[in-house]
Amino acid sequence: MPQETFDLVVAANRLPVDRVREGGRSVWRRSPGGLVTAMESVMNDRDGAWIGWSGVAGKAPAPFEQDGMHLHPVALSAEEVRDYYEGFSNGSLWPIYHDVIVPASFKRRWQAAYEQVNRRFAEVAAGLAAPGATVWVHDYQLQRMPQFLRELRPDVRIGWFNHIPFPPVELFMQLPARDALLQGLLGADFLGFQRRADAQNFLRACRQLLADEQVSVRGDVVRMANGHETRAAAVPISIDTAAMTELAATTAVQDRAAEIRRQLGNPTHLLLGVDRLDYTKGIRHRLKAIEELLREGQLAATDTKLIQVATPSRERLAAYQQIRDDVELTVGRINGDHAHIGAPAVTYLHRSFPREEMAALFVAADVMVVTPLRDGMNLVAKEYVAAHDDDGALVLSEFAGAATELKQAYLCNPHDIARTKQTILRAIEATAFERAPRMRAMRRQVQRHDVQHWAARFLADLAAAPGQP
């Protein structure tokens, strides 16, 4: 029987579901994370297929349907998980793309595995794409895939979206595979980035590093020697705003939010941090600021509480083990120095939560504190704005992509602990009169520019891109 084909194929490192144990049996459950949150409604509105790794090394499960989506797993061996994912993607690319907050490492076998896996993804996509289909590739793990797919299926339209920052050329050129990565991306017709600065960084890299290969850059279009053209532009990602606002308004979520506050002793001020446990997220900087405010007496643990949700991430990598140790040590020290029996100053939750619980946390929190050292967008900031009423406040790092859109947030430089402390205090002490117009303006932004708007804009830009000669 011929394989079913689709007019839209989405390719991402992971499928949008995880295999979990529930009631004594193994089931698929929707994954947490910004990509899944953003793409879920896009896939539900279109008849498409999603290809990605299942999260378990070895033979891939058979294709299956889940929540109205056709999911097609791609196999990764244990060695490929180690070299392609943990190695090249997160040991080489991730640090370079995030300002080298931790040093990058390079191994030739990592690069070889990255090439191999990207080629496999391209082969799977080529088999699933209908004639003239659109293939939407996501993120830094699949930067070689567009070129490989172009070689296999020159008839399809190929788009790629980068969910993380794209680095300045001075950092990017450290990568041993820099030319191959650029050539891989230039197999696409359209490249979407979170910020204009990211797109400009990519264009500068092409101009500076591919000049000898007769690649020319004019405006936002890169033209290759064979005549193929690739356009690069900013298309900032967003959330399903209406769904989050509707969920937050439900009686169950409102009641749970009130219960959370009661469980914490009904504090005067409740602060919230929600992050993957990653060294780029600035969790240590945030905790240091809170710790100093408590030590100096500017905040009191009796009436100001912080909930820090830290979703487990890449736990086999040394840098992530270190950040977990550092965060847990700091939380323990803060509570040991400032908390009372049965009333911690910081409630630390090292696990993920269902969407309903996250909405309740957003509703419960007076102040959301988002302090990444570098972030492509940060959808949590947008979710808080969509979920909370006018009496909320958002403290937001200048280095999150969301800062370019949520200009009414209380912006801070998390590296400057003194100023960050002042910004947190300002958000806590702000009156409802000051908070309300800020929250309303940010809510209008996320309502007008929601995930449906993002997807429609990306796909329209992809359809209009110059592409093949």
Mind telling me the catalytic residues? 163, 375
Environment class of residue 343 by beta-carbon count within 10 Å: exposed (0-12), middle (13-18) or buried (19+)? middle
CB 259 within 8 A of CB 303: no
DSSP 8-state class, residue 84: I
Length of the chain: 469
- Find residue 17's DSSP bridge partners: 30
For residue 257, give every residue at least 6 positions away whose Cβ sits within 8 Å of its Cβ, in sequence order, or none: 360, 361, 363, 364
Cα dihedral 148, 198, 378, 398 in deg (nearest 10): 160
Give the Cα separation of 213 and 206 in Å (integer). Answer: 10
Instruction: Extract the tokens encoding 234.
Output: 């900013």
Give the Cα separation of 291 and 271 in Å (integer). Answer: 13
Helix/strand/coil for 207: helix
DSSP character string of 152-197: H-TTSEEEEE-SS----HHHHTT-TTHHHHHHHHTTSSEEEESSHH
Instruction: Extract the tokens encoding 253.
Output: 């979520």
Measured on CA atoms in the order 314, 319, 325, 330, is the torsion positive or negative? negative
Measured on CA atoms in the order 190, 162, 12, 47, is the torsion positive or negative? negative
Give the Cα separation of 469 and 462 in Å (integer). Answer: 15
Please report which helix (H) or strand (E) contains residue 138, including its range.
Answer: strand 129-138
CB 467 within 8 A of CB 157: yes
Question: Rounded to the nearest 10 degrees, what angle do helices 145-152 and 178-185 cross at?
Answer: 50
Give the Cα separation of 446 and 384 in Å (integer). Answer: 10
Give the Cα separation of 16 and 29 in Å (integer). Answer: 8
CB 395 within 8 A of CB 123: no
Question: Rounded to the nearest 10 degrees, what angle do helices 417-429 and 283-295 cross at?
Answer: 70
- Find residue 223's DSSP bridge partners: 216, 229
